[in-house]
Amino acid sequence: MGNITLKQVTKSFGTTEVIPPLNLEIVDGEFVVFVGPSGCGKSTLLRLIAGLEDVSSGLIEIDGNDATSLPPAKRKLAMVFQSYALYPHMSVRKNIAFPLKMAGLDAEERERKVEGAAKVLNLTNYLDRRPGQLSGGQRQRVAIGRAIVREPEAFLFDEPLSNLDAALRVNMRLEITELHQSLKTTMIYVTHDQVEAMTMADKIVVLHDGHIEQVGSPMELYRSPANVFVAGFIGSPKMNLISGPEADKMGAHTIGVRPEHILISKQEGGWKGKVGVSEHLGSDTFLRVHVDGMEMLTVRTEGDVDLHHGDEVYLTPDVNRIHKFDAAGLAQ
Protein backbone atom coordinates (compact mmCIF):
# COMPACT_ATOMS: atom_id res chain seq x y z
CA MET A 1 0.00 0.00 0.00
CA GLY A 2 1.15 3.54 -0.69
CA ASN A 3 -1.36 5.87 0.95
CA ILE A 4 0.32 9.07 2.14
CA THR A 5 -1.49 11.76 4.14
CA LEU A 6 -0.19 15.17 5.21
CA LYS A 7 -2.08 16.91 8.02
CA GLN A 8 -1.32 20.56 8.81
CA VAL A 9 2.31 20.05 7.82
CA THR A 10 4.57 23.11 8.05
CA LYS A 11 8.25 23.76 7.45
CA SER A 12 10.31 26.74 8.54
CA PHE A 13 13.97 27.56 8.13
CA GLY A 14 14.72 29.82 11.06
CA THR A 15 12.03 32.50 11.06
CA THR A 16 11.15 31.94 7.39
CA GLU A 17 8.10 29.74 6.82
CA VAL A 18 8.49 28.01 3.44
CA ILE A 19 5.56 25.59 3.81
CA PRO A 20 2.52 27.12 5.56
CA PRO A 21 -0.01 24.66 7.11
CA LEU A 22 -0.75 22.18 4.35
CA ASN A 23 -3.11 19.22 3.97
CA LEU A 24 -2.83 16.63 1.21
CA GLU A 25 -3.96 13.05 0.59
CA ILE A 26 -2.26 10.72 -1.88
CA VAL A 27 -4.06 7.46 -2.62
CA ASP A 28 -2.32 4.14 -3.20
CA GLY A 29 -1.35 3.68 -6.86
CA GLU A 30 -1.73 7.32 -7.89
CA PHE A 31 0.79 9.19 -10.02
CA VAL A 32 0.87 12.59 -8.31
CA VAL A 33 2.86 15.50 -9.71
CA PHE A 34 3.95 18.50 -7.63
CA VAL A 35 4.33 21.38 -10.07
CA GLY A 36 5.11 25.06 -9.69
CA PRO A 37 7.76 27.69 -10.40
CA SER A 38 11.23 27.60 -8.87
CA GLY A 39 11.13 28.27 -5.14
CA CYS A 40 7.49 27.27 -4.67
CA GLY A 41 8.32 24.58 -2.10
CA LYS A 42 7.72 21.44 -4.19
CA SER A 43 11.13 19.84 -3.59
CA THR A 44 10.99 20.76 0.11
CA LEU A 45 7.58 19.08 0.35
CA LEU A 46 8.96 15.93 -1.30
CA ARG A 47 11.91 15.88 1.10
CA LEU A 48 9.52 16.18 4.05
CA ILE A 49 7.62 13.12 2.81
CA ALA A 50 10.91 11.26 2.28
CA GLY A 51 12.15 12.17 5.76
CA LEU A 52 15.19 14.05 4.43
CA GLU A 53 13.87 17.19 6.13
CA ASP A 54 12.13 17.39 9.51
CA VAL A 55 8.66 18.93 9.63
CA SER A 56 8.30 21.99 11.86
CA SER A 57 4.79 20.89 12.85
CA GLY A 58 2.03 18.64 11.62
CA LEU A 59 1.66 14.95 10.84
CA ILE A 60 2.78 12.68 8.00
CA GLU A 61 1.03 9.32 7.77
CA ILE A 62 2.06 6.42 5.52
CA ASP A 63 -0.61 3.73 5.22
CA GLY A 64 -2.35 5.10 8.29
CA ASN A 65 0.76 4.98 10.50
CA ASP A 66 2.46 8.06 11.92
CA ALA A 67 5.73 8.42 10.01
CA THR A 68 6.50 12.00 11.03
CA SER A 69 9.54 11.07 13.13
CA LEU A 70 10.62 7.94 11.24
CA PRO A 71 14.07 8.04 9.60
CA PRO A 72 14.07 7.80 5.77
CA ALA A 73 15.20 4.17 5.71
CA LYS A 74 12.15 3.05 7.69
CA ARG A 75 9.51 4.85 5.61
CA LYS A 76 9.53 2.22 2.82
CA LEU A 77 9.92 4.95 0.20
CA ALA A 78 12.47 5.14 -2.62
CA MET A 79 13.79 8.43 -3.95
CA VAL A 80 15.21 9.10 -7.42
CA PHE A 81 17.37 12.21 -7.54
CA GLN A 82 17.99 14.72 -10.31
CA SER A 83 21.73 13.99 -10.16
CA TYR A 84 21.25 10.17 -10.41
CA ALA A 85 23.48 9.68 -7.30
CA LEU A 86 25.23 6.63 -8.80
CA TYR A 87 28.54 5.20 -7.60
CA PRO A 88 30.96 5.83 -10.51
CA HIS A 89 33.39 3.01 -9.54
CA MET A 90 30.63 0.35 -9.45
CA SER A 91 29.04 -1.48 -12.38
CA VAL A 92 25.37 -1.00 -13.18
CA ARG A 93 24.73 -4.40 -11.57
CA LYS A 94 26.41 -3.39 -8.32
CA ASN A 95 24.74 0.05 -8.29
CA ILE A 96 21.28 -1.50 -8.56
CA ALA A 97 22.13 -4.21 -6.01
CA PHE A 98 23.67 -1.83 -3.46
CA PRO A 99 20.54 -1.17 -1.34
CA LEU A 100 19.83 -4.93 -1.29
CA LYS A 101 23.36 -5.65 -0.09
CA MET A 102 22.98 -3.04 2.66
CA ALA A 103 19.68 -4.70 3.64
CA GLY A 104 21.48 -8.04 4.06
CA LEU A 105 19.91 -10.01 1.20
CA ASP A 106 21.88 -13.03 0.00
CA ALA A 107 23.67 -12.93 -3.35
CA GLU A 108 21.18 -15.17 -5.15
CA GLU A 109 18.19 -13.05 -4.14
CA ARG A 110 20.06 -9.85 -5.03
CA GLU A 111 20.86 -11.18 -8.50
CA ARG A 112 17.24 -12.24 -9.09
CA LYS A 113 15.93 -8.77 -8.23
CA VAL A 114 18.62 -6.97 -10.24
CA GLU A 115 17.88 -9.10 -13.31
CA GLY A 116 14.15 -8.41 -12.92
CA ALA A 117 14.63 -4.64 -12.67
CA ALA A 118 17.08 -4.63 -15.59
CA LYS A 119 14.56 -6.46 -17.76
CA VAL A 120 11.81 -3.95 -16.95
CA LEU A 121 14.12 -1.00 -17.71
CA ASN A 122 15.90 -2.46 -20.77
CA LEU A 123 19.24 -2.46 -18.97
CA THR A 124 20.13 -6.16 -19.29
CA ASN A 125 22.89 -5.51 -21.85
CA TYR A 126 24.44 -2.76 -19.71
CA LEU A 127 24.71 -4.51 -16.33
CA ASP A 128 28.51 -4.85 -16.48
CA ARG A 129 29.17 -1.27 -17.60
CA ARG A 130 30.01 1.61 -15.30
CA PRO A 131 27.88 4.81 -15.14
CA GLY A 132 30.51 6.78 -17.07
CA GLN A 133 29.94 4.51 -20.07
CA LEU A 134 26.20 5.24 -20.20
CA SER A 135 24.08 8.03 -21.66
CA GLY A 136 22.11 10.36 -19.39
CA GLY A 137 18.89 8.46 -20.03
CA GLN A 138 20.53 5.12 -19.24
CA ARG A 139 21.99 6.49 -16.00
CA GLN A 140 18.55 7.72 -15.00
CA ARG A 141 17.17 4.23 -15.64
CA VAL A 142 19.87 2.76 -13.39
CA ALA A 143 18.82 5.16 -10.63
CA ILE A 144 15.20 4.07 -11.10
CA GLY A 145 16.30 0.41 -11.09
CA ARG A 146 18.02 0.89 -7.75
CA ALA A 147 14.70 2.21 -6.43
CA ILE A 148 12.61 -0.61 -7.98
CA VAL A 149 14.56 -3.46 -6.33
CA ARG A 150 13.70 -2.10 -2.90
CA GLU A 151 9.99 -2.72 -3.68
CA PRO A 152 8.95 0.50 -1.93
CA GLU A 153 5.44 1.62 -0.99
CA ALA A 154 6.00 4.73 -3.12
CA PHE A 155 8.55 6.22 -5.49
CA LEU A 156 9.62 9.85 -5.06
CA PHE A 157 11.10 11.60 -8.10
CA ASP A 158 12.85 14.96 -7.65
CA GLU A 159 13.01 16.60 -11.12
CA PRO A 160 14.60 13.45 -12.58
CA LEU A 161 14.63 14.62 -16.20
CA SER A 162 16.02 18.13 -15.85
CA ASN A 163 19.58 17.07 -16.76
CA LEU A 164 18.50 15.42 -20.03
CA ASP A 165 18.19 16.94 -23.49
CA ALA A 166 14.75 17.53 -25.03
CA ALA A 167 14.51 14.24 -26.97
CA LEU A 168 15.64 12.14 -24.00
CA ARG A 169 13.19 13.94 -21.74
CA VAL A 170 10.29 12.88 -23.95
CA ASN A 171 11.51 9.26 -24.06
CA MET A 172 12.09 9.04 -20.31
CA ARG A 173 8.72 10.67 -19.63
CA LEU A 174 7.05 7.87 -21.58
CA GLU A 175 9.18 5.20 -19.88
CA ILE A 176 8.33 6.43 -16.37
CA THR A 177 4.62 6.59 -17.26
CA GLU A 178 4.73 3.02 -18.61
CA LEU A 179 6.64 1.91 -15.52
CA HIS A 180 3.88 3.31 -13.31
CA GLN A 181 1.22 1.51 -15.32
CA SER A 182 3.21 -1.72 -14.98
CA LEU A 183 4.08 -1.50 -11.26
CA LYS A 184 0.86 0.24 -10.15
CA THR A 185 2.84 1.73 -7.24
CA THR A 186 2.31 5.22 -5.84
CA MET A 187 4.59 7.76 -7.51
CA ILE A 188 5.18 11.36 -6.45
CA TYR A 189 6.98 13.40 -9.07
CA VAL A 190 8.36 16.93 -8.74
CA THR A 191 8.78 19.16 -11.79
CA HIS A 192 8.63 22.81 -12.86
CA ASP A 193 7.59 21.65 -16.35
CA GLN A 194 3.81 21.78 -16.64
CA VAL A 195 3.92 19.71 -19.87
CA GLU A 196 5.41 16.84 -17.84
CA ALA A 197 2.70 17.38 -15.24
CA MET A 198 -0.13 17.36 -17.79
CA THR A 199 1.08 14.27 -19.64
CA MET A 200 2.15 12.06 -16.72
CA ALA A 201 -0.13 12.76 -13.76
CA ASP A 202 -3.31 11.20 -12.46
CA LYS A 203 -3.43 14.12 -10.04
CA ILE A 204 -1.60 17.45 -10.14
CA VAL A 205 -0.78 19.53 -7.07
CA VAL A 206 -0.06 23.13 -8.11
CA LEU A 207 2.16 24.93 -5.58
CA HIS A 208 2.97 28.63 -5.22
CA ASP A 209 4.96 30.13 -2.33
CA GLY A 210 4.42 26.94 -0.32
CA HIS A 211 0.63 27.05 -0.70
CA ILE A 212 -1.41 24.49 -2.60
CA GLU A 213 -3.26 26.54 -5.22
CA GLN A 214 -5.29 23.63 -6.64
CA VAL A 215 -5.41 19.83 -6.70
CA GLY A 216 -7.07 17.90 -9.52
CA SER A 217 -6.67 15.85 -12.66
CA PRO A 218 -4.83 17.46 -15.58
CA MET A 219 -8.05 18.18 -17.47
CA GLU A 220 -9.80 19.55 -14.36
CA LEU A 221 -7.03 22.10 -13.98
CA TYR A 222 -7.05 22.89 -17.69
CA ARG A 223 -10.82 23.33 -17.93
CA SER A 224 -11.57 24.84 -14.51
CA PRO A 225 -8.57 26.67 -13.01
CA ALA A 226 -9.35 27.83 -9.47
CA ASN A 227 -7.52 31.14 -9.80
CA VAL A 228 -5.41 33.37 -12.03
CA PHE A 229 -2.15 31.68 -11.00
CA VAL A 230 -3.30 28.19 -12.03
CA ALA A 231 -4.87 29.59 -15.20
CA GLY A 232 -1.59 31.18 -16.24
CA PHE A 233 0.57 28.21 -15.23
CA ILE A 234 -1.30 25.21 -16.66
CA GLY A 235 -1.49 24.99 -20.44
CA SER A 236 1.08 25.51 -23.19
CA PRO A 237 1.21 28.16 -24.52
CA LYS A 238 -0.14 29.74 -21.36
CA MET A 239 -3.57 31.33 -21.09
CA ASN A 240 -4.02 34.95 -22.16
CA LEU A 241 -5.10 37.01 -19.14
CA ILE A 242 -6.86 40.28 -19.94
CA SER A 243 -7.89 43.09 -17.57
CA GLY A 244 -9.47 46.47 -18.25
CA PRO A 245 -12.46 47.37 -20.46
CA GLU A 246 -12.80 43.93 -22.09
CA ALA A 247 -12.96 42.24 -18.68
CA ASP A 248 -15.38 44.91 -17.39
CA LYS A 249 -17.77 44.14 -20.27
CA MET A 250 -18.04 40.58 -18.95
CA GLY A 251 -18.46 41.58 -15.31
CA ALA A 252 -15.01 40.36 -14.27
CA HIS A 253 -11.78 41.88 -13.01
CA THR A 254 -9.75 39.60 -15.31
CA ILE A 255 -10.76 37.29 -18.12
CA GLY A 256 -8.72 34.41 -19.46
CA VAL A 257 -8.81 32.78 -22.87
CA ARG A 258 -6.51 30.02 -24.04
CA PRO A 259 -4.54 30.51 -27.31
CA GLU A 260 -6.30 27.53 -28.88
CA HIS A 261 -9.71 29.06 -28.12
CA ILE A 262 -9.20 32.17 -30.26
CA LEU A 263 -10.23 32.24 -33.91
CA ILE A 264 -7.99 34.33 -36.17
CA SER A 265 -9.08 35.89 -39.47
CA LYS A 266 -7.90 38.47 -41.99
CA GLN A 267 -11.46 39.65 -42.63
CA GLU A 268 -13.44 40.14 -39.41
CA GLY A 269 -13.53 39.53 -35.68
CA GLY A 270 -14.03 41.10 -32.29
CA TRP A 271 -10.48 42.30 -31.63
CA LYS A 272 -8.25 43.98 -34.21
CA GLY A 273 -4.49 43.65 -34.10
CA LYS A 274 -1.20 43.08 -35.90
CA VAL A 275 0.97 39.98 -35.93
CA GLY A 276 4.22 40.51 -34.05
CA VAL A 277 5.91 37.11 -34.14
CA SER A 278 4.77 33.98 -35.96
CA GLU A 279 6.19 30.58 -35.02
CA HIS A 280 5.52 27.93 -37.66
CA LEU A 281 5.87 24.43 -36.22
CA GLY A 282 4.24 22.49 -39.04
CA SER A 283 1.42 20.89 -37.06
CA ASP A 284 0.67 24.19 -35.29
CA THR A 285 1.34 27.88 -35.70
CA PHE A 286 1.82 30.19 -32.69
CA LEU A 287 1.11 33.86 -33.31
CA ARG A 288 1.87 36.78 -30.96
CA VAL A 289 -0.63 39.48 -31.83
CA HIS A 290 -0.52 43.13 -30.73
CA VAL A 291 -4.21 43.93 -30.06
CA ASP A 292 -5.49 47.50 -29.87
CA GLY A 293 -6.02 48.51 -26.23
CA MET A 294 -4.62 45.25 -24.81
CA GLU A 295 -1.35 43.51 -24.12
CA MET A 296 0.07 41.08 -26.65
CA LEU A 297 -2.10 37.97 -27.06
CA THR A 298 -0.99 34.50 -28.09
CA VAL A 299 -3.03 32.56 -30.65
CA ARG A 300 -2.58 28.89 -31.51
CA THR A 301 -3.92 27.56 -34.80
CA GLU A 302 -3.77 24.14 -36.42
CA GLY A 303 -1.47 23.58 -39.38
CA ASP A 304 0.75 26.09 -41.15
CA VAL A 305 -1.05 29.45 -41.40
CA ASP A 306 0.12 32.06 -43.92
CA LEU A 307 0.41 34.95 -41.46
CA HIS A 308 3.59 36.88 -40.75
CA HIS A 309 5.00 39.92 -38.95
CA GLY A 310 2.98 43.07 -39.58
CA ASP A 311 -0.14 41.37 -41.00
CA GLU A 312 -3.42 42.92 -39.86
CA VAL A 313 -5.72 40.32 -38.29
CA TYR A 314 -8.97 39.98 -36.33
CA LEU A 315 -9.38 37.76 -33.27
CA THR A 316 -12.60 36.23 -31.94
CA PRO A 317 -12.52 34.39 -28.59
CA ASP A 318 -14.82 31.41 -28.00
CA VAL A 319 -17.32 32.98 -25.57
CA ASN A 320 -18.12 29.58 -24.07
CA ARG A 321 -14.50 29.08 -23.08
CA ILE A 322 -13.71 32.43 -21.49
CA HIS A 323 -12.66 32.19 -17.84
CA LYS A 324 -13.64 34.96 -15.43
CA PHE A 325 -11.74 35.96 -12.29
CA ASP A 326 -12.56 38.45 -9.54
CA ALA A 327 -10.32 41.14 -8.02
CA ALA A 328 -8.78 38.56 -5.66
CA GLY A 329 -7.84 36.41 -8.66
CA LEU A 330 -10.37 33.67 -7.87
CA ALA A 331 -12.54 32.01 -10.50
CA GLN A 332 -16.09 33.37 -10.68
Strand order in the sheet with 65-66: 16-26, 4-13, 57-62, 65-66
CATH of domain 237-325: 2.40.50.140
Q: Quote the pLDDT of residue 4.
A: 97
Say yes or no to pLDDT of 202 above 90. Answer: yes
Contact of 319 with 256, CB cutoff 8 Å = no
**Does residue 85 sit in helix, strand or coil?**
coil
Q: Is 161 helix (H, G, I), strand (E, B) or coil?
A: coil
What fold characterizes domain 4-227? Rossmann fold (3.40.50)
First-to-last C-alpha distance (Å) of the chain: 39
CA angle (66 as vertex; 69, 187 as ends), nearest 5: 95
Rounded to an integer, the average pLDDT of 78-100 is 89
| Band of pLDDT at residue 221, cut at 50, 70 and 90 | very high
Please report, for the chain, the start and end positions of each structural domain, with discontinuous segments joined by +. Answer: 4-227, 237-325
Pick the range with the lowest mean pLDDT from 12-16, 34-38, 161-165, 178-182: 161-165
- pLDDT of 42-54, one tens digit each? 999 999 999 999 9
Which tens digits make up the pLDDT trace of 246-273? 999 999 999 999 999 999 999 989 999 9
Per-residue pLDDT of 142-191, as tens digits, reads 988 998 898 899 999 998 888 778 888 888 899 889 989 988 999 999 99
Q: What is the C-alpha radius of gyration for the chain, rounded to an integer number of angstroms?
A: 23
pLDDT number for residue 81:
83
pLDDT digits (tens, 9 = 90+) for 293-327: 888 999 999 988 889 999 999 999 999 999 999 99
pLDDT score recorded for residue 194 = 86
Instruction: Name 62's bridge partners.
Output: 4, 65
What's the mean pLDDT in 85-90?
90
Residue 243 is predicted with a pLDDT of 94
pTM of the model: 0.89
Range list of H helices, 184-320:
194-200, 218-223, 228-233, 245-249
Give the pLDDT confidence of 94-136 residue by residue, as tens digits.
999 998 988 888 899 999 999 988 988 889 999 999 999 998 8
pLDDT on residue 102: 87
Q: Which residues contact 71 (CB under 8 A, 6 or more apart)?
A: 51
DSSP state of 227: B
Strand-pair category, 154-158 with 77-80: parallel
